[in-house]
Amino acid sequence: MTDFAATRALFHLPDGVTYLDGNSLGAMPFAARERARTVIEDEWGELLIRGWNQAGWMVAPGRVGDRIARLIGAPAGSVTMGDTLSIKVYQALAAALSLRPDRRVVLSDSGNFPTDLYIAAGLLRSLGSDYRLKVVAPEEVAGAIDASVAAVLVTEVDYRTGRRHDMPALTARAHAKGALAIWDLAHSAGALPVDVAGGGADFAVGCTYKYLNGGPGAPAFIHVGDAHRDMALPALSGWMGHADPFAFAVDYEPGRGIERMRVGTPPVIALAVLDAALDAWNGVTVAEVHAASIRLSEAFIAGVEAECPALELASPRDPLARGSQVAFRHPAGYAVMQALIAGGVIGDFRAPDILRFGFAPLYNGMDDVDRAVAALTCILRDGSWDAPEFHARQAVT
């Protein structure tokens, strides 16, 4: 069993806080703080414009992308960084549609994170009234893939319940029907073993501020499969994706492979912070982290179900059918979460009634599980959102 004492020491967590919201914003690695200082003081401050070459700013999107690639089962040279997940969804979907010019349907599901649906709807509207976004229930996706579908756009792990799609099976089903598969790995990267290359994903996108701990608003990533990297004409054809950006040619010529998925000037400071945050993965595998996440989440579910009968499990019971978070329903979920947060146990709430707890074993341990169960028990048993015993218990732990 992996000992995570070494990785826990890499992160700052505030005194008195039990942090179970790394599925929304990961904790701060000390290395990220230090790297921000050096990229600003030593690189920007001292090198100024020379930092683009001398400090490697220009190649940072691909270099950091290669580090992400190793965590999602993608080959080197297949991932680049920048922008936000919304923009990366747009890029992936636009590219997919250009590769299936005779098809007009994009298939997604109602458990997808809304921005994926919004971005898809906006893109399709601009392409013309014959394009259509079809949104079905998560369990109906496989059956809804037919010869009209250009691309299946789904998020592997449901942001509310943690329900996990079978990524290899859905990808294979899409390919069998001639459709492309675009995977949003927002709640997967750094949480679950993902094999985008082995599973044949055509495109994969994700954010880095959750389980990858890149900081608030950290840059997103995009992976393009081998078959498409030199094919798709980018919709967002910015100068950094040009074959020779500093030739300043009037006409756009797409760069080689994944380079063409770059758009504008890279977010140097944020990329440096993320780069340092990824050092936490140097001595640990995603599989080890996932195994630890299952131990924590199983203990949490057992504890909550034993002590808090008012909470109804909203996540799949099979740990392999969910991501690294556990969701419970409660009619007063919002108030319960506010009480938890006031008492130092930070999870989050998703309307209408979901309490969400993320487990990030790089810095979460069994003591976090115990404290969260104890806090929930107090709050629900005393029927009060301001249980003194709970605060007292928090104060001594």
User: In angstroms, how far is CA 23 from the centroid of its own chain?
Assistant: 8
- State the catalytic residue, choosing from 209, 349, 363, 390: 209
CA 184 – CA 346 distance, rounded (Å)? 25
CB neighbourhood size of 131 (10 A): 18
Q: Are 29 and 208 in contact (CB under 8 A)?
A: no
Q: Which of 109, 158, 184, 275 is catalytic?
A: 184
Q: Which is nearer to its own copies, 66 or 116 (CB)?
A: 116
Laid out side by side, the sheet with 348-350 consists of 312-313, 325-329, 354-358, 348-350
Cβ atoms 158, 72 nearer than 8 A: no
Measured distance CA(124)–CA(105) in Å, rounded: 9
Asked if 134 is an active-site residue, the reply is no
The least CB distance from residue 99 to its own copies, in Å, is 13
User: φ and ψ at 347, to 5 degrees?
Assistant: -120, -155
Residue of 173, 210, 262, 322 with catalytic role: 210
Q: How far is the CB of 383 from its own copies (least distance, A)?
A: 26
Q: CB 6 → its own copies: shortest distance, Å?
A: 20
User: Cβ distance 90 to 119 under 8 Å?
Assistant: yes
User: Nearest Cα to 82, choosing from 96, 68, 94?
Assistant: 68
Identify whether 90 is a catalytic site residue: no
Sequence-ordered alpha helix ranges (H) in the chain: 5-8, 30-38, 45-47, 51-54, 60-71, 85-99, 114-127, 141-144, 167-176, 268-277, 286-307, 333-342, 366-381, 388-396
- CA gap 168, 325 in Å, rounded: 21
Residue among 180 and 220 whose Cβ is closer to its own copies:
220
| Residue 121 or 291 with smaller CB distance to its own copies | 121
C-beta of 122 vs 198, nearer to its own copies:
122
| Count of helix runs (H) and strand runs (E) in the chain | 14, 15
Is 300 designated active site? Answer: no
Let me know if 163 is a catalytic residue: no
Q: Shortest gap between Cβ of 376 and its own copies (angstroms)? A: 18
Active site residue 349: no
* CB closer to its own copies out of 5 and 250: 250
Q: Is residue 20 a contact partner of residue 372, using CB atoms and an 8 Å limit?
A: yes
Catalytic residue among 11, 113, 203, 363: 113
Q: Catalytic one among 67, 103, 356, 371?
A: 356
Q: How far is the CB of 97 from its own copies (least distance, A)?
A: 9
From the CB of 16, what's the least distance to its own copies, in Å? Answer: 11
Whichever of 198 and 217 has its CB closer to its own copies, that residue is 217
Catalytic residues: 113, 184, 209-210, 356
